[in-house]
Structure 1
């Protein structure tokens, strides 16, 4: 009896302490989390479920972890100060798109947010799925002569990862300056051997981490989710694909893998160089070697690069989706592996439907992250009730990040339709204004819709009680997923 009583006292003390710590963390969340929805989600879960949420909050929840936002802004200012001596944007006046059309006028919002101009006459090539993307990327690497800039969120040491490593080493052996940036958390399984082999071959390697300390380094927020490759300052690759055989569709149960990248030439490449330089400077406190083109195509597609991240003065990524939804007059089709909108994006979706806009969202039918998937299911059921057409891709896992607006606007990049992309990760989208490219993207998405099933109101009644309970919990945690 004495032992049982002693255990009871210890357990009681443990749970009371945990509850007190949960309440303290909840108060902290109310004052520090960036959005009201996120603050409420954390506070409620910390008070009522501290056993499940206290440690995740310490890892994921502290948006202002070690004054990161202030530090990143300071470093970006330092980098731009360093570049004042270069002809960073001497080319802009020659290629800025000048058009009185209302569609172009709305792009001014993105210019104000990012400082990136709308640039004319870019060539763009739509790359569907991993084999097209990496075939084109490796072919471009083999032609590299001076500089390669590359960053990925996930790099795996598998067949594709080793092929990429080989191509980068071959570039370095030819005398090409290679800068390779990977996210420390996204590529947590990447062995030190892989990195050392690159360094020994002369490749400049850096990892994107939150801060230098051991704990901060593995902070889950503020990840570099961008996928950018720039070759000789002339060719760029941007999109949703990371480096691993799963992105080639060779890793069940998510295979085949459905994703999209784009290949770009023109002045837009220099803007993407600027984004890479900011990330590299943050990780390494040095500038990579940069090449600025002076001759551009005489015709092509108008593009604007929209980089976003938690250090922005405004919530650029969320505002991008809101502006896209608000500007749509005919249709807006969105593909994303995750669908966890905040209240502002949710309201914009609702208003678009009320205006008679054809709103479609393409989502996976398979899950890679359980709680995000459950939250996406719940939001998709409510979206169907609102009149939004929800499609679940059935031929594999859909990971592409594509937005199609009316007959002339398309955007492709790394941003998902969730809070992590809106506010916690560094992302980049390339928005294009072109009826011909819009038609290419439309044709691609029509094929994706044909390989999907449309969700109906009857689907809401198919879920068992325990599943609906899980959906409710997932919605509660939605703002922090």
Structure 2
């Protein structure tokens, strides 16, 4: 009897594995992923069925972002009282069409370098909110910085300001319930961004990696910083923590409000307050949003289009260098065009598997003529892109498949010579604190470490 039950159970698992393999072949985004899942589900369903349930979906179902359906061409938009759109925006017309929103003129921008300076400005801006405060982070910790944020939010709510807070359910899994309850008791509307609906219920891969703060519809902040003491450089061995945030004023703040509203409506069914975002400068900017609900692979296409637009230089800073074929080819073609291509990556790992895969990708990049550098003082977490002498992007997108396909992300692409000059100065200082990667890094590594790099690369679609 027991043998018959066991045999029937094994047969059922293999049958379920076969159906799951058929689903993987028809729905997985990459051929490598489809082959990997299909073989595992057919040969070892008792090992792979449960992981596939949690990790196998490639689309975030039911979510409809405002930029998901793009027109054939997104024309630049001049805001009332603003300077004309920068002519160089035309080089990035494909990115505007991909987003379904135009470049807008009339922006004032400021780089906020590293955590203490960035949070000093952001918390002061939040404390000055008079009408509405929208706050979204991938990670919020209940530590010194997290409690500083909590107090500002409670004070603003007590003053009658509408305060709406989103945090990612996976990224902030350690956030205690009493932190949330304290905010709700003080009048703050706070919610966990989760997969939420039954079709996505078991999926852990989809994460909202955006960091957005909007104050009264006039000032916005985006970038790489989350809320935690480690982002202030207070937690060895990764300290000091190198990161960058962008303060943005002008019409594109309305687009950031709309992105927050898309996420807020997904969770609550309601819209947060949306306030006017007047012109406040001369720079042209485009908000670039991406996510697993997009019909196209927006993150990868953004980097590919931006790199193809370069004629003089492409400087990239990313904590995770795991490019897909399209981005890798774009970087290689840029080198062949004579473009100065540099990639800045960490010298210290925060995730071992990603670091091993990044090391192998860095080796292949160096062999293709791409200059790769490792930042030495501490952990590099900033996500910055510099194109030629007039364009730069700051946001939350990493150069990996997770940001390309699995995370909700946001970046601001700015066309403005002065802002690009500020990014050049910042990255120039970072490169001066870095060491060039050579072929010897891979060649002289122990054999087993080289094998580990190649094994880690097999997981590129999930990194």
Q: TM-score, normalised by structure 1?
A: 0.88
In terms of fraction of residues, the more helix-rich structure is 1
Q: Which residue of 2 aligns with 1:30?
A: 25
Which structure 2 residue ranges, 5 or more long, are not aligned?
68-76
CA distance in 2 between counterparts of 1:456 and 1:168 reads 48
Q: Which residue of 2 aligns with 1:277?
A: 261
2:184 to 180, 185, 199: 199
Q: 1:45: how far off?
A: 5.6
Q: 1:466: how far off?
A: 1.3
1:61 pairs with 2:56: yes
2:150 to 157, 160, 165: 165
CA distance in 1 between counterparts of 2:195 and 2:391 reads 34
1:382 to 353, 361, 364: 364
1:242 to 222, 226, 237: 226
1:286 pairs with 2:281: no
Q: 1:107: how far off?
A: 2.6
1:152 to 119, 132, 137: 137
1:267 to 232, 245, 251: 251
Q: Which residue of 1 aligns with 2:73?
A: none
Sort the Cα spacing of 1:46 and 1:387 in 2 relative to 1 into closer, same or farther, 3 A.
farther
1:125 pairs with 2:107: no
CA contact (8 A) 1:25 1:46 kept: yes
Q: Secondary structure at the match of 1:380?
A: helix
Superposed CA deviations along residues 413-455 of structure 1, whole A, max 9, x for unmatched, are 0001011111111100101111111111111111111211111
1:320 pairs with 2:305: no
Deviates more, 1:113-122 or 1:274-283: 113-122
Q: How does 1:57-456 map to 2 (within 5 A)?
A: 57-64=52-59, 68-69=60-61, 71-73=62-64, 94=80, 99=85, 101=87, 103-212=88-197, 216-217=200-201, 219-293=203-277, 295-297=278-280, 299-456=281-438
Q: 1:175: how far off?
A: 0.7
Q: TM-score, normalised by structure 2?
A: 0.91
CA contact (8 A) 1:107 1:118 kept: no
Superposed CA deviations along residues 372-421 of structure 1, whole A, max 9, x for unmatched, are 11111111111110011111112111111101011011000000101111
Superposed CA deviations along residues 327-376 of structure 1, whole A, max 9, x for unmatched, are 11111011111111111111111111111111111111111222211111
CA distance in 2 between counterparts of 1:385 and 1:51 reads 41
Sort the Cα spacing of 1:50 and 1:256 in 2 relative to 1 into closer, same or farther, 3 A.
farther
Q: Secondary structure at the match of 1:132?
A: helix
CA distance in 2 between counterparts of 1:46 and 1:258 reads 41
Which structure 1 residue ranges, 5 or more long, are not aligned?
1-5, 78-90
Task: Provide the aligned C-alpha RMSD in A.
Answer: 2.6
Sort the Cα spacing of 1:253 and 1:291 in 2 relative to 1 into closer, same or farther, 3 A.
same
Q: Secondary structure at the match of 2:63?
A: helix
Deviates more, 1:30-39 or 1:377-386: 30-39
Q: Secondary structure at the match of 2:394?
A: strand
CA distance in 2 between counterparts of 1:408 and 1:389 reads 21
Superposed CA deviations along residues 301-338 of structure 1, whole A, max 9, x for unmatched, are 11111111111222211111001111111110111111
